[in-house]
Amino acid sequence: MVRTVDPQVITLDIMMPRMNGWDVAAALREDPSTADIKLIMLTARAQEADVKRGARIGVDYYLTKPFDPDELITVVQKLAAGQPV
């Protein structure tokens, strides 16, 4: 589906059905055709180990729940525009 839609930014949760967010993010980073898509991990898992794991995988932004919807919008806009967050 990602190859068909060709998104600029994808939001993932760690706890998802079938495939967790960690595995999806890793698979996207490993595939040259999707490796440059910006990834936001939006999750309730706020422990430092989780944030570090996201960084190791290559997640561009880690946002924990509860979150400010305005922050999410700003992050998506900046990442889509190629700006630093």
pLDDT at 73 over 90: yes
Residue pair 53/45 in contact by the 8 Å Cβ criterion: no
Q: What is the pLDDT of residue 3?
A: 84
12-41 confidence digits (pLDDT tens): 999 988 899 999 999 999 999 999 999 999
Say whether 33 sits in a helix, a strand or coil.
coil
User: pLDDT category, 1, cuts 50, 70, 90?
Assistant: confident
Residue pair 63/83 in contact by the 8 Å Cβ criterion: no
45-67 confidence digits (pLDDT tens): 999 999 999 999 999 999 999 99
* Fold of the domain spanning 2-80: Rossmann fold (3.40.50)
